[in-house]
Structure 1
Amino acid sequence: MIYIILSVFCSVTVAVLLKLAKRYEISIIQAVTVNYFTALCLCFVFFKPNISAVNSSAPWPIYIGLAILLPSIFLVLAASVKKLGIVKTDIAQRLSLFIPVVAAYFIFREDFNSYKLIGLAIGFLAIFFTFFRKSEETANSNNWLYPILVFVGFGVIDVLFKQIALFKTLPYTTSLFTVFCLAFLVSLVIVIIMIVTKKTKLQLVNLACGLILGLFNFGNILFYLKAHQALAQNPTTVFAAMNLGVIVVGSLIGIIIFKEKLTRLNYAGIIFALVAIVFITISQLHAVR
């Protein structure tokens, strides 16, 4: 579970950085590009991936899929926050848990015991109650396309990373390095196009933000993969604990640092999340017996 805790910490830090980036008008795409360059450099320095082992037998469709999805989902996330706000976007992101859970049952053939089913049921209630807000609905229904893309995008990314974790022919660090390289190239192409079309201009503050973002994004994905390897027979445990953990920690940071006001239902959601994590942890203990 230590890997899940570390991944949650890094994930929440990335979310906080994105919130601050919106406040200080940081260029998301520039920061994301530097973020992946930083991540691939860290991967190369600390893990020394065997690049020569990457050949035609590598899972290239998964690599390419992640290389396109990772930077793209950052842009969609930023657009969703701008159009519908942070709360609705967070709901969409956390509800993406449904996709890997369904994949765990139908693709990875994971067995569900009663504790896990109860934990997931309570967890889904926690997601709703934690992020419940009274707000006016937007008049432009087309804006709902953004949270839908966030929902699908994060769900598919979770499944693809699980498949990389289970791919035994190549070390996961080598696969991780390859994904970062490809994601950086995709992001760089987007930045170049935006600069040529004069939709953005290079700024030092964006590069600095990208360096910090890359450090924590690298940690988030790395520990997430390690958690899947440690709990390879129970991917739902990782999926659920990661998402619910982010909800709890993110809510606490929102209350303490960003002074967000929560309703009684929001506090009830946090309690539900803690209970759900307990049930899912119990389900893991029963699964390894």
Structure 2
Amino acid sequence: MMYLTIAVLCSVAVSVLLKILRQKKMDIRQTIVAGYPVAFLLTWILLKPDVGAINALDSAWGIIIALGILLPAVFIILGRAIEAVGMVATDASQRLSLIIPIIAAFLLFGEVLTGTRVLGLVLGFLALGALVYRPQQTDTPKQTKYTPLWLFGVWAGYGIIDILFKQVAKQGTAFPLTLFVSFGVAGLLLLVYLLVTRVRWQADALVAGLLLGALNMGNIYAYVRAHQVLSDSPSIVFTGMNVGVIAVATLIGVGVFKERLNRINLVGLLLAVCCVGVLFLA
């Protein structure tokens, strides 16, 4: 359970860090680009990718490029969503992205859609709707206009990334090597973008990137190790990770950052937990 606990805490810590950076008006793009060398190095140390097998990536380069673009983009969207609605709703939306691979499995890969899965999908969409809801009178015009888009971006982005990783795995490409190369591509593309746009570099944002990279890799490594250690109990890892993140994010968001949740948002959190449980049983 130690690795599972670490994975949950690292995942929530990423959201906490992004929330603090947004409050301090730092450029999250710079934090993200500074985090990739750290994640790149830790992937090399902890997961020991077989770089000699890089020629086997020929058929997966399209997916890796897509990951290289999506990984930093989703981090940026995550920061925007946290700024707009807080970490509670944002982390719940991220966890609900698990319904996208299920939809893809049915529509694209010919898997059977059971009644239990249909129930899980319905609960997931209802949860998203409830989490997005903000009373008109309490929001700024900007929040009212863009809040659903940011949360949808978090949900869709993480869901698509999950599909891409699963497709790479099906092609026989080793996960550590794929992650290693994807981090390198993501960091390089974002750095080129920032240089082309002549960004004004912020020392504090770059230093924060070192922590972001460590937390991001800590989350991934601990989650993988949890699956290895609890290989006979995947349900504990799956449910514990998703429900654990929602629970801890709610405690920190409400208790520390004083985020306000209306009754419909609270119903959305409950539906999100139910969705995770139902989809596991499916």
User: Normalization by structure 1: what TM-score?
Assistant: 0.75
* Count of aligned residue pairs for this structure pair: 273
Aligned position for 2:258: 259
Q: Residue 184 and residue 52 in structure 1: after superposition, are their counterparts in 2 closer, same or farther (change >3 A)?
A: same
Mapping of residues 126-137 of structure 1, within 5 Å: 126-135=127-136, 136=139
Amino acid at match of 1:46: L
CA deviation vs aligned residue, 1:91-139 (integer Å, no higher than 9, x gap) = 8756655532321222344334333332332233233334533134737
Q: Residue 184 and residue 279 in structure 1: after superposition, are their counterparts in 2 closer, same or farther (change >3 A)?
A: same
Q: Is 2:41 the partner of 1:38? A: no
Q: Residue 242 and residue 130 in structure 1: after superposition, are their counterparts in 2 closer, same or farther (change >3 A)?
A: farther
Contact residue 46 and residue 221 of structure 2 kept, 8 A: no
State the Cα distance separating 1:179 from its structure 2 match.
0.6
Q: Which of 168, 189, 192 is 2:192 aligned to?
A: 189
Q: Residue 171 and residue 57 in structure 1: after superposition, are their counterparts in 2 closer, same or farther (change >3 A)?
A: same
Q: Is 2:114 the partner of 1:113? A: yes
Aligned position for 2:24: 24
Which whole-Å CA distance do the structure 1 matches of 2:184 and 2:107 have between them?
A: 31
CA deviation vs aligned residue, 1:220-274 (integer Å, no higher than 9, x gap) = 344666789999xx9xx96x98666544432232122212232333333333333
> Which has the higher mean CA deviation after the structures are superposed, 222-231 or 144-153?
222-231
Contact residue 241 and residue 277 of structure 1 kept, 8 A: no
Which whole-Å CA distance do the structure 2 matches of 1:68 and 1:266 have between them?
A: 31
Contact residue 130 and residue 268 of structure 2 kept, 8 A: yes
Which whole-Å CA distance do the structure 1 matches of 2:99 and 2:141 have between them?
A: 25
Contact residue 88 and residue 147 of structure 1 kept, 8 A: no
CA deviation vs aligned residue, 1:164-217 (integer Å, no higher than 9, x gap) = 23332x3211111111111111122123234xx3x31241x2232111111221
Aligned position for 1:73: 74
Aligned position for 1:213: 212
State the Cα distance separating 1:41 from its structure 2 match.
0.4
Which whole-Å CA distance do the structure 2 matches of 1:158 and 1:257 have between them?
A: 30
Q: Residue 267 and residue 2 in structure 1: after superposition, are their counterparts in 2 closer, same or farther (change >3 A)?
A: farther
CA RMSD of aligned residues (A): 3.7
Which whole-Å CA distance do the structure 1 matches of 2:265 and 2:74 have between them?
A: 27
Which whole-Å CA distance do the structure 2 matches of 1:142 and 1:131 have between them?
A: 11
Structure with higher helix content: 2
Q: Residue 65 and residue 275 in structure 1: after superposition, are their counterparts in 2 closer, same or farther (change >3 A)?
A: closer
Aligned position for 1:165: 169
Contact residue 161 and residue 225 of structure 1 kept, 8 A: no
Q: Describe the SS at the equivalent of 1:258.
A: coil
Amino acid at match of 2:125: F
Q: Which of 123, 139, 160 is 1:156 aligned to?
A: 160
Which whole-Å CA distance do the structure 1 matches of 2:119 and 2:3 have between them?
A: 23
User: Normalization by structure 2: what TM-score?
Assistant: 0.77
Q: Describe the SS at the equivalent of 1:165.
A: helix
Contact residue 10 and residue 220 of structure 1 kept, 8 A: yes
Seq. identity, %: 35
Amino acid at match of 1:32: I
Q: Is 2:51 the partner of 1:47? A: no
Which whole-Å CA distance do the structure 1 matches of 2:142 and 2:61 have between them?
A: 42
Which whole-Å CA distance do the structure 2 matches of 1:245 and 1:132 have between them?
A: 23
Which whole-Å CA distance do the structure 2 matches of 1:140 and 1:128 have between them?
A: 15
Aligned position for 1:287: none
Q: Describe the SS at the equivalent of 2:58.
A: coil
Aligned position for 1:270: 269
State the Cα distance separating 1:140 from its structure 2 match.
9.7
Amino acid at match of 1:186: L
State the Cα distance separating 1:17 from its structure 2 match.
1.0
